[in-house]
Amino acid sequence: MKVLVTGATGFIGRKVVGRLQGAGFEVRVASRRLERLSAADHDVLLPGVDAPDEAFPALMRDVTHVVHCAALNNDRNASEADYRAANAALTGRLAKAAAIGTGGRFIYLSSIRAVAGPGFSGTINEATPPAPQCAYGRSKREGEVGTLEAYASTGRADATALRLPPVYGEGMKGNLASLMRLADSALPLPTGALVGVRSLIAPETAADVVLHLLSRPGPLRPAYVAGNATPLAMSEIITAFRQGFGRPRRLLPVPAISLRLAATLLGKQAAWQALSATQICDPSLLASEGWAPEADTFDRLRELARQAGQAR
């Protein structure tokens, strides 16, 4: 069986390609970055949202399954229209072509931002009502809807949205990258600002979920939520990074109320809510279907920082 993987040269996509090839799948690599593609016959340029109609069915030739990893995220210069074009409109066109031109499954890599904003505190599972709070989240939610509607219009139900928590690993961007840079400093950090608990996932683990969803028997659910077995407090994440860098822990016992008041006075309430929020992703549905979440996140974070320190 051949699997089309979009965004195959990206942060998660390259792990998906390696995992599928290791499991015996033939993979067609698709990327928006021409310079990252090889001259191999299975490497193709991913069409843009304004590509002609015939470009998308051509991608599906001899393909059984599609894993759509390509996305726009963590781009401070992107507008709402940019996010919608990359994550919603392009996804919809790809899903329509796949629903008609392939006989297998369509796995859309989405995000918990399609369900909740960074300031949300609580547990996120498949039953959580979607309430995205940012341009990225809204575009990912539109991509989910477009994917399911494309398959429903052809009478099929073998498409799903895989909602991922923050993904850590070499080449990561966004808040986790900023947190790791902060951990690599000598600055003491207040524990009161680090009380939030977060679910995380490694790109290799995300790739394992993709393989599971492509391989498991039985129908797919419309959405799945992935996450690690034991969410970590922000203080634990910082501690793991600092251990990896060989730095002292340096966490000061400053109470949360003092920091919250300071954030309010400075007009930084939203930033405080995002920093102190507890977001737990419940992978129970995936686990009930035979998938085992990662249980060594602290050790992986420590190793990630150790390797980053050695690479300097």
What tens digit of pLDDT does each residue of 127-139 get? 999 999 999 999 9
Judge contact between 101 and 140, C-beta under 8 A: no
Judge contact between 119 and 277, C-beta under 8 A: yes
Domain ranges of the chain: 2-167+201-227+281-294
Residue 260 has pLDDT above 70, yes or no: no
pTM (2 d.p.):
0.91
Residue 38 has pLDDT above 70, yes or no: no
Q: What span, in angstroms and rounded, lies between the C-alpha atoms of 35 and 32?
A: 9
Structure tokens at 69: 């990893």
Q: What is the CATH number of domain 2-167+201-227+281-294?
A: 3.40.50.720
Average pLDDT, the chain: 89
Residue 262 has pLDDT above 90, yes or no: no
What tens digit of pLDDT does each residue of 99-120 get? 999 999 999 999 999 999 988 9
Judge contact between 95 and 158, C-beta under 8 A: no
Residue 148 has pLDDT above 90, yes or no: yes
Q: What span, in angstroms and rounded, lies between the C-alpha atoms of 262 and 272?
A: 10
Residue 263 has pLDDT above 80, yes or no: no
Judge contact between 159 and 99, C-beta under 8 A: yes
- Nearest residue to 109 (alpha-carbon basis) of 245, 195, 209: 209
Instruction: Using pLDDT thresholds of 50, 70 and 90, give the confidence band for residue 291.
Output: very high
